Amino acid sequence: MVAMTAAPESAEQLWHGGWYGPAQRHPSPNFGPRPAGIDISLIVLHSISLPPGVYSGHAVLDFFNNRLDTNAHPYFQALRETQVSAHFFIRRGGRIIQCVSGDDRAWHAGLSCWRGRENCNDYAIGIELEGLEGQTFAAPQYAALARLAADLTRRYPITAIAGHEHVAPGRKRDPGPGFDWARLKRQLSRHVDHRFDWP
């Protein structure tokens, strides 16, 4: 059972189906149904910026919506025909954007495994942080991520938080060494008294 240290809103007020009330909605067509009876128990953290190291702009959201102009930058050529998404995208300033309902299966982890359980997309919530693997992330992002992760535990039976690098080792490296896991743990503990499995 999760005991919130501060709960100004109920889960019913925060969530509308699988949509998070405080987030800006930017729906992506890149999703599908989760397997029947699946428990949504894992949060997978990613980092993304398009082109790499360039923040703000609309390229990431265009990418998640299959509208990225692949002629706009040489890096984008490698993304042609690629269809991906995440449930959430957190900007450098802390703004949370939701692209896929948490009840649905977003396309973020790819070939993956956590604690011997494969196909993380089936049972995970994918959160993209605007950033570059190996580089640091902004204070407002940690605050927003901690709040979002706590609120996710109020809707789903979340038991673990890991990085893409942990569920797809050798293939992916994000969010990378610049991500401060200890900081997230500290900030998350201010919102929720909940025991997570960490990398």
Q: Enumerate the active-site residues.
A: 128
Question: In a 3-state reduction of DSSP, which class is residue 19?
Answer: strand
Give the bridge partners for 4, in sequence order: 192
Q: What is the H or E stretch that residue 162 is in?
A: strand 160-163
d(CA 45, CA 89): 10
The size of the chain, in residues, is 199
Q: Single out the residue of 93, 32, 97, 19 nearest to residue 60, CA to CA.
A: 97
CA pair distance 73, 76, nearest whole angstrom: 5
Q: How many CB atoms lie within 10 A of CB 146?
A: 20
